[in-house]
Amino acid sequence: MALLASSDWRVAVAIAEIGYANPFLPERIELEQEALGKSFTHSQPFLQYRPDCSVSDMFPNAPALRQRSEQLLEKMRGKLIAHEPATERELEVYENLAIYQLYARYMSTTLDLPAVRFRNRPEDDILNCYDAFAGDYHWFLELPEKRLPSNLDRDVIFAGLFQVERAFFHIFRHIVGASMPAARLRAAIWQSIFTHDMRRYLSALHRFMGDIPTLITGPSGTGKELVAQSIAYSRFFEFDSKNRRFVTNYADCFVGLNLTAISPTLIESELFGHAKGAFTDAKTERRGYLDESECPRWGTVFLDEIGDLDAQLQVKLLRVLQSREFQRVGDSTPRKFVGKIIAATNRDLAAEMEAGRFREDFYYRLCADRIETPSLRVQLQESPEDIANFVRFIATRQLPELPEEASRLTDEVVIWVSKNLGKDYAWPGNIRELEQCVRSIMIRGNYVPSGRKTPTEQAPVARFLKSVEDGDFSRDELLSAYFSLVYSRSGSYRAAGRRLGVDWRTVKEIVDSDLAREFAE
Ligand SMILES: Nc1ncnc2c1ncn2[C@@H]1O[C@H](COP(=O)(O)OP(=O)(O)OP(=O)(O)O)[C@@H](O)[C@H]1O
């Protein structure tokens, strides 16, 4: 006899999958639909943060899934306790359902995580939920005379649940965008943290993920540093259940270094440290960012602009990636780097390797886990209305205490951009440029892209075309501007008359000679 009837079993399998699925891919929503059938509420094709929506609008199916998983779990547990026989697959689904249920019970739904959740102080109520959690763990996962397939350790699950919560917060709240490239970026970050197999991650891999560097590539201003922070802040931190603390305060585990902002000699001593007297200014010894005291096991060093790194330093860093060893400048003692490296560049590394500026062996040590950030243009091509989402996100961050002002600013910017830059504007500076645009419109009511002229300074032909597009001309103005344009291109009233199919005297009468001169320049 099976533990569940076939209709319940299908639901249990789907919910068990949800617990381990990548939450940012459309498959996750499909699983929710499969689990809830007719009671499923349609909202978005994939999960995305919408500052204008409530939590319950963004996750409309969460309460029903939690309730359903609880019912199924209790049903299965009752039979297992009564020693009814169960297959390995049934035990696996039961275990996964239990983990889903724990997650649903203990994950914060406020989406305001860092403020309340991660001060990491034993007196914070939030960590005291460990006792309740331990009670639930015992109830669901420590069954008398039954060993569950992956038999995950209680503290690992607790730490894992908090890690999922942190990762979800950092990806969901910070990486905005309703296009498929934005969804794929969120999913790729999730995978970089948890791999594609969450079960294997929780049972074994979480201890080793720091050994694998991550390489983030993409155009400037597309969020490479943001992605690096999301990964670093979402790493697995062990939970010390005796002292009710995580091993670290998560805000202390990220160090970013822009390699183009420091000279090669300084980079070396910043990264590796130096001995006293190693060079003229080395009055005392100094620990580098790779030192264990600066970057412990759960820490991350972010190397921005890795494509610009000097060849000698590439060799030294390659050694760190290969053997985790380094030496301070002026000191031969071998030291160990124990944290994680994330590197980023906006250069085309294939071209850099071809030109001999970037070492192949260094590249291949970096590229196993690679994430590409999409340009704003690519995102807007697929989802033009996303400009409003990005602007709303930026305006809300700019005016956090003033939601109505932020909303007004959003409308103002969206209208301004559509009128003055148009939907084909390429946003060469990507989201960073859009941020400048929002601020500039807030301050000056206007934004001038670098290398571009303001609308009033635009080339006369572009201004003419824009006015046509906006429908700004009266009939006579349009006629005069168009006659002036044709006259400026034809060189004489007679030639313009032939082109326009009117007498040359009519052309002369209608042409605005100042405008014709501007068109001719
Ligand atoms: N997908 C995104 N969602 C929300 N904000 C974003 C996104 N991408 C970038 N930003 C914002 O744009 C700004 C620039 O991002 P960031 O510095 O991470 O870009 P970058 O790719 O590292 O740039 P560079 O190559 O110049 O170092 C930041 O303020 C960041 O918060």
195-206 tens-digit pLDDT? 998 888 988 888
Burial 241-257 (b: 16+ CB within 10 A, else e): beebbbbbebeebbbbe
Domain membership flag for residue 368: yes
| 235 plus 360 within the same structural domain | yes
| 192 plus 54 within the same structural domain | yes
What's the pLDDT at 116?
45
| 195 plus 96 within the same structural domain | yes
| 136 plus 279 within the same structural domain | no
pTM score: 0.83
Find the helix or strand (DSSP H, E) in which 69 lies: helix 62-81
| 394 plus 350 within the same structural domain | no
| Closest CA to ligand 1's atom 15 | 223
Cα 1 to chain centroid distance, Å, stands at: 47
Tell me: pLDDT of 386 over 50.
Answer: yes
| 134 plus 34 within the same structural domain | yes
**From its phi and psi, is residue 48 left (phi > 0), alpha (psi between -120 and 50) or beta?**
beta
Domain membership flag for residue 92: yes
What's the pLDDT at 141?
94
| 464 plus 361 within the same structural domain | no
Angle between helix 224-233 and 154-174 (nearest 10): 160
Find the helix or strand (DSSP H, E) in which 256 lies: strand 254-258
At position 307, the amino acid (one-letter code) is G
Per residue in 201-255, pLDDT (tens digit) is 988 888 888 899 999 999 999 999 999 999 999 999 888 888 888 887 777 789 9
Q: What's the number of CA atoms in the CB half-sphere (13 Å) around residue 202?
A: 21
Domain boundary among the residues 345, 374, 403 is at 374
Contact predicate 493/507, CB 8 Å: yes
Please report, for the chain, how many H helices and E strands are present, in that order.
Answer: 24, 11
Task: Dig out the tokens for 105 from the structure.
Answer: 């019970």
Q: Which of 432, 378, 395 is nearest to 51 (CA)?
A: 395
Per residue in 78-99, pLDDT (tens digit) is 999 999 999 999 999 999 999 9
**Is the C-beta atom of 436 inside 6 A of ligand 1?**
no
| 200 plus 257 within the same structural domain | no
Question: How long is the chain?
Answer: 521
Mutational test site, ligand 1, from 427, 431, 437, max ligand atoms within 8 Å of CB: 431
Domain membership flag for residue 223: no
Pairing of strands 214-217, 340-345: parallel
For tokens 């082109």, what's the residue? 499
**How big is the CA angle at 439 (ends 438 and 443), to the nearest 5 degrees?**
120
Task: Dig out the tokens for 60 from the structure.
Answer: 């409309």
Mean pLDDT throughout 157-170?
Answer: 88
Q: How far apart are the first and last CA of the chain?
A: 89
Alpha helices in 383-474 (DSSP H): 386-398, 403-420, 430-444, 460-470
How far apart are the CA of 499 and the centre of ligand 1, in A?
A: 51
**Is the C-beta atom of 343 inside 6 A of ligand 1?**
no
Domain membership flag for residue 427: yes
Mutational test site, ligand 1, from 179, 184, 225, max ligand atoms within 8 Å of CB: 225
What's the pLDDT at 126?
57
| 88 plus 121 within the same structural domain | yes
Domain membership flag for residue 283: yes
Q: Which of 337, 233, 324 is nearest to 292 (CA)?
A: 337
What is the side-by-side order of every strand in the sheet holding 369-372?
A: 254-258, 300-304, 340-345, 214-217, 369-372
Find the helix or strand (DSSP H, E) in which 68 lies: helix 62-81
At position 219, the amino acid (one-letter code) is P
Task: Quote the mean pLDDT of the chain.
Answer: 87
Domain boundary among the residues 342, 374, 406 is at 374
What percentage of the chain has pLDDT greater than the value 90?
A: 47
| 30 plus 15 within the same structural domain | yes
Question: Among 349-363, 374-388, 438-452, whose mean pLDDT is lowest?
Answer: 438-452
Q: What is the largest CA-CA distance in the chain?
A: 105
Alpha helices in 123-217 (DSSP H): 125-141, 154-174, 180-194, 198-203
Cα(199)–Cα(186) distance, integer angstroms: 20
The domain total for the chain is: 4
Tell me: pLDDT of 459 over 80.
Answer: no
Domain membership flag for residue 216: no
For tokens 């009033």, what's the residue? 456
Higher pLDDT, residue 364 or 519: 364
Task: Dig out the tokens for 447 from the structure.
Answer: 């934004």
| 50 plus 195 within the same structural domain | yes
What's the pLDDT at 111?
58
Hey, how many other C-beta atoms are within 10 angstroms of the C-beta on 190?
25
Task: Dig out the tokens for 79 from the structure.
Answer: 């039979």
What's the pLDDT at 128?
67
SS3 label, residue 140: helix
Atom of ligand 1 lying closest to residue 345 CA: 25
Cα(90)–Cα(401) distance, integer angstroms: 50
What's the pLDDT at 471?
82
Alpha helices in 290-356 (DSSP H): 311-323, 349-354
What's the pLDDT at 376?
96
Task: Dig out the tokens for 9 from the structure.
Answer: 């079993």
Tell me: pLDDT of 112 over 70.
Answer: no
How far apart are the CA of 235 and the centre of ligand 1, in A?
A: 20
CA distance readout (Å), 333 to 274, 279, 336, 466: 11, 17, 10, 67
**Is the C-beta atom of 226 inside 6 A of ligand 1?**
yes
Q: Which residues contact 404 (CB under 8 A, 6 or more apart)?
A: none
Tell me: pLDDT of 398 over 80.
Answer: yes
Domain boundary among the residues 374, 389, 423 is at 374
What's the pLDDT at 451?
62
Domain membership flag for residue 340: yes
Cα 143 to chain centroid distance, Å, stands at: 40
Atom of ligand 1 lying closest to residue 218 CA: 21
| 406 plus 321 within the same structural domain | no
What's the pLDDT at 181?
94
pLDDT band at 110 (very low <50, low <70, confident <90, very high): low
| CATH number for the domain that contains residue 237 | 3.40.50.300
Contact predicate 107/26, CB 8 Å: no
Q: Which domain holds residue 286?
A: 231-374
| Closest CA to ligand 1's atom 10 | 223
Domain membership flag for residue 338: yes
